[in-house]
Every structure is written in structure tokens, then in C-alpha cells.
Amino acid sequence: MRVLVTVGTHQRGFDALLNSLEPWASKGRDSFVVQAGASTTVLPGARQQAWFTREEFAKELALADLVVAHLGCGIAREVQVAGKPCLFVPRRQERGEHIDDHQEELREALGGRTGLGFASPDDDLEAMAGCLVGTRPLPPPWQSDLVRAVRSWLTQS
């Protein structure tokens, strides 16, 4: 299985997520590609880079069987558009991973959507991700409404 891991492009790293993935990656069964951002932890056996270009990331997303990610608005949208199952681990303010806990808010809002799972770094991420394999998220439900509304707003005099 090919697993794409991303902690987004935030200026703060997310070492708690990478540390939590270490037991799984160490088994060597699955192939890991990691966009680690400012994190310092290196996942054993993974192809890891701080950043991918937009094109590189899109290619890796298309190839991935599963995504493990922080709960940023960009990746939350991208996995739904691409139909890739994703296990999200929200960043937490108390661990210094973000300025507040809005990623927990997004977790509540997206809860129940097909193909999306949610965990904390203390969980068994391999087991939780295993439950998502073979599922497929649906596209974002309100995207076209927003595009229409923006177009309409722009053409108002």
C-alpha cells in the first residue's frame, strides 16, 4: 500500500504525527511518501521531503492508496476532490502545533463523511487507517454553490 503523509505548509512542524507513524513505517510493509514541512522527525524507510511542488504533490496524491494528514483546509478539500481515503490528525494548540484549535472544529464538521477518519497522535494510526482502505470520499458538497455565488457577486454593479 502507498501512503501519502502531509503536515501541510504551515511554518510549524508536526512531529507528533510523524512520531506516531514510526511503528507502522518501521514494519516496512507499506510505502510512505512524506511532505514533512518544518518537522524534524524522519520517518524510517520513507521518501521524505520538506516540501513538494503543487505538481509533485498532485502526482503523489493520485498514486496514493491512502492519505494521513493534519487537518488543514487545503488537504481536506483535495482528498475529497481526488476521492482518496484520508486519516486526519488535527493539530493542537496545547502541543504548540497551531495558534488555536480550529482544526478540531473542522474535525467535528467533517465527522461522518465517507472515506474520512480522524485520530490523535496517541491512537494506533495503522489500525485506524486500515479501516479506511477501499473507501472513497465524495466531492465537497457546497463547492459549486460558492463558485456561483462569487461569480454573481463579481458581476453585481
Partner 1 sequence: MNILLVASHGGHCAELLSLREAWEGHKQLMVVTQGAGNPPGVLEVDPIGEDLWSLLKAFVRFRRIVAEFQPDAVVSTGAEVALPAMFWGRLYGARTLYIECSARVRSASLTGRILSRWVTACWVQWPTALGAFKGRARFHGGTV
Burial class (CB in 10 A: 0-12, 13-18, 19+), 72: buried
94 is a contact residue toward partner 1 (CB under 8 A): no
Q: Determine which residue in the list 3, 75, 129, 132 makes contact with partner 1, applying CB under 8 A.
A: 75
76 is a contact residue toward partner 1 (CB under 8 A): yes
118 is a contact residue toward partner 1 (CB under 8 A): no
51 is a contact residue toward partner 1 (CB under 8 A): yes
Q: Determine which residue in the list 30, 82, 106, 130 makes contact with partner 1, applying CB under 8 A.
A: 106
Burial pattern 88-108, b for ≥16 Cβ within 10 A else e, equals bbbbbeeeebbeeeebbebbe
40 is a contact residue toward partner 1 (CB under 8 A): no
Question: Least distance to partner 1 from the beta carbon of 36, Å?
Answer: 11
150 is a contact residue toward partner 1 (CB under 8 A): yes
- Round to whole Å and give the CA distance between 35 and 64: 13
